[in-house]
C-alpha cells in the first residue's frame, strides 16, 4: 500500500494558519505442571473426598451439580489456571480455590462446548481466556465477578442461548469477537472502565456457513459518553453520536487520542472537565472520511503523526498560533489501495 499526498493546491487552500514560524514545523518519522481436580462445595454431601499424591486428583460431589472434573495448571505466581472441564453438570459453580491456591484464570478453551446452562465464575478470577466458553450452546446465564479485568478473544463466541450479560466495572479489555455470534443477545452495557474493545466483540454474528461476519440489526449498546464503549458503538454504527477520547498527560493536561463520528464539521474543545487540551495524538482522527472542516483550539501545541491521515474529504483546517510542532503525515495524505 502506498501513501499519497492530497493535491497541493487543495491543501494550501485548506489550512488556515494564524502564525507558525517555519522552524516550528518539524517532519520526523515521526507454566507449571498439569493436574486434575474433582471438587465440590461440600464433600460431606454424599460424594467422595480423596487426594492422591500422583497427579494430585481431588474428587467430590457438588450439591445439585453432580460430579465435576477439572484439569488445571499451577501458574508462576502460585495461583491456579483451570484448563479443562469434563463434567456434564447443567449448573456449574467454578471453585475459587484448588489445593488451597486461588483460581485466577479460566484457561483457553477450558469450558468450550460445555452443555452447562448456568455458570458462576468465582471472584478470585481476573482473566477469562481465549475461547474459554466458546460454543456453549445451552448457556443462558453466566456470572462474571467484579474481579475480572480481561476477557480474551472469542471467550463467549457462539453462545447462542445467552440472552443477557453483565460486564462488571473491573473489566478493562474485551478482545476480538468476545461475544460474537451470541444470537440471543440483543443489548449490552459497557462500563466506563473498559479501555479496549476488539473488532466484532459485540453485535455481530456469522452466517450459516461461517464464511462472513455480519452486524446484528437493532443491537443496542449502552455506554458512558466519550468512553471506549461509546467509541466502539459509534465506530461500528450502533450509535451516531460523535465520540472523543482523551489521555491525561503527566502534567494534568489532555491529549486527544481518538475521535469517531459522522459530522462534516468539528470544533475540538479547548478544555474538557476543567483540563486543557494541548495535543492531538497519533492517528487521532485517522479515517474520518466524512470530516470536511476542523478547528483546532488555541492552547494546542503538538499535532502528532498521522493525526488527520486519510481524511479524504477534509478541505479546511484552522490551526492556532499556539501550535509549535506538526509531525509527519498529519494532514493531506491518504491511502493508495
3-state SS of 136-188 is: CCCCCEEECCCCCCEECCCCCCCCCCCCCCCCCCCCCEECCCCCCCCCCCCEE
Give pLDDT tens digits for 61-84.
Answer: 343 343 358 999 999 999 999 999
Q: How far apart are CA 95 and CA 162, in angstroms?
A: 22
C-alpha cell at 150: 480481561
Sign of CA dihedral 98, 104, 108, 113: positive
Read off the DSSP letter of residue 24: G
Cβ–Cβ < 8 Å for 253, 220: no
Query: Residue 209 has what pLDDT?
Result: 75
For the chain, percent of residues with pLDDT exceeding 70: 80
Tell me how far the alpha carbon of residue 80 is from its chain's centroid. Answer: 24
Mean per-residue pLDDT of the chain: 85
Domains and CATH numbers, the chain: 2-29+242-336 (3.80.10), 34-235 (3.80.10.10)
Q: How confident is the model at residue 8 (pLDDT cuts 50, 70, 90)?
A: very low
Helix (H) or strand (E) holding 8: helix 8-14
pLDDT at 25 over 50: no
DSSP for 297-332, please give it: PTT--EE-TTTTTT-TT--EEEE-TT--EE-TTSSS
Alpha carbon 309 to chain centroid distance? 23
Q: Is the pLDDT of residue 28 over 70?
A: no
pLDDT of residue 111: 98
What 248-256 contacts at long range (C-beta under 8 Å, 24+ apart), as own/partner pairs, is 248/275, 249/278, 249/279, 253/277, 253/278, 253/279, 254/278, 254/279, 255/279, 255/280, 255/281, 256/280, 256/281, 256/284
- The mean pLDDT of 291-312, rounded to a whole number, is 98
Check residue 68 and give its pLDDT: 53
pLDDT range class, residue 19, cuts 50, 70, 90:
very low
pLDDT score at 29: 33
Q: What pLDDT sits at residue 207?
A: 84
Model pLDDT, residue 63:
36
What whole-number percentage of the chain has pLDDT above 90? 75
Task: Quote the pLDDT of residue 1.
Answer: 54
Model pLDDT for residues 235-264, shown as the tens digit of each residue: 999 999 999 999 999 999 999 999 999 999
How far is residue 124's CA from residue 105's CA, in Å, rounded to a whole number?
8
Q: What is the reported pLDDT for 211?
A: 80
pLDDT at residue number 76: 97
Are 76 and 31 contacting, i.e. CB atoms less than 8 angstroms apart? yes
Q: How wide is the angle at C-alpha 100 spanned by C-alphas 95 and 104, nearest 5°?
A: 50
- pLDDT at residue 325 above 60? yes
| Residue with the larger pLDDT of the pair 4 and 215 | 215
Residues 6 or more apart whose CB falls under 8 angstroms from that of 107 comprise 72, 73, 81, 82, 83, 84, 129, 132
Q: Are 231 and 258 in contact (CB under 8 A)?
A: yes
Task: Give tens-digit pLDDT for 118-155.
Answer: 999 999 999 999 999 999 999 999 999 999 999 999 99
CA angle 149–261–168, rounded 5-degree value:
20
Left (φ > 0), alpha (ψ -120 to 50) or beta: where does 24 sit? alpha
CB 31 within 8 Å of CB 74: yes
Amino acid at each position: 500500500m502506498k501513501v499519497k499526498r492530497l493535491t497541493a493546491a487543495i491543501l494550501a487552500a485548506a489550512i488556515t494558519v494564524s502564525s507558525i514560524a517555519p522552524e516550528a514545523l518539524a517532519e520526523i518519522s515521526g507454566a507449571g505442571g498439569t493436574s486434575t481436580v474433582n471438587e465440590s462445595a461440600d464433600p460431606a454431601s454424599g460424594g467422595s473426598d480423596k487426594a492422591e499424591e500422583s497427579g494430585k486428583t481431588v474428587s467430590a460431589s457438588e450439591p445439585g451439580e453432580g460430579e465435576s472434573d477439572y484439569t488445571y495448571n499451577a501458574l508462576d505466581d502460585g495461583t491456579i489456571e483451570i484448563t479443562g472441564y469434563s463434567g456434564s453438570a447443567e449448573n456449574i459453580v467454578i471453585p475459587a480455590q484448588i489445593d488451597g491456591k486461588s483460581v485466577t484464570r479460566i484457561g483457553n478453551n477450558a469450558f468450550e462446548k460445555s452443555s452447562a446452562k448456568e455458570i458462576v465464575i468465582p471472584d478470585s478470577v481476573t482473566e477469562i481466556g481465549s475461547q474459554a466458553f466458546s460454543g456453549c450452546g445451552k448457556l443462558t446465564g453466566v456470572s462474571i465477578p467484579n474481579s475480572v479485568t480481561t476477557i480474551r478473544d472469542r471467550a463467549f463466541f457462539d453462545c447462542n442461548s445467552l440472552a443477557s450479560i453483565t460486564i462488571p466495572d473491573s473489566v478493562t479489555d474485551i478482545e476480538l469477537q468476545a461475544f460474537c455470534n451470541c444470537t440471543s443477545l440483543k443489548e449490552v452495557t459497557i462500563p466506563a472502565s473498559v479501555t479496549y474493545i476488539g473488532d466484532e466483540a459485540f453485535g455481530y454474528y456469522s452466517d450459516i456457513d461461517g464464511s462472513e461476519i455480519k452486524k446484528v440489526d437493532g443491537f443496542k449498546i449502552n455506554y458512558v459518553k466519550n468512553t471506549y464503549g461509546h467509541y466502539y458503538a459509534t465506530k461500528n454504527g450502533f450509535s451516531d453520536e460523535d465520540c472523543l477520547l482523551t489521555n491525561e498527560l503527566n502534567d494534568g493536561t489532555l491529549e486527544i487520542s481518538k475521535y469517531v463520528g459522522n459530522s462534516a464539521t468539528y470544533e475540538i474543545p479547548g478544555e474538557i472537565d476543567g483540563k486543557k487540551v494541548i495535543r492531538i495524538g497519533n492517528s487521532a482522527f485517522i479515517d474520518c472520511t466524512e470530516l470536511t472542516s476542523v478547528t483546532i483550539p488555541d492552547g494546542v501545541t503538538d499535532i502528532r503523526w498521522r493525526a488527520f491521515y486519510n481524511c479524504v474529504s477534509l478541505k479546511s483546517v484552522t490551526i492556532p498560533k499556539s501550535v509549535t510542532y506538526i509531525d509527519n503525515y498529519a494532514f493531506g495524505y491518504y491511502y493508495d489501495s
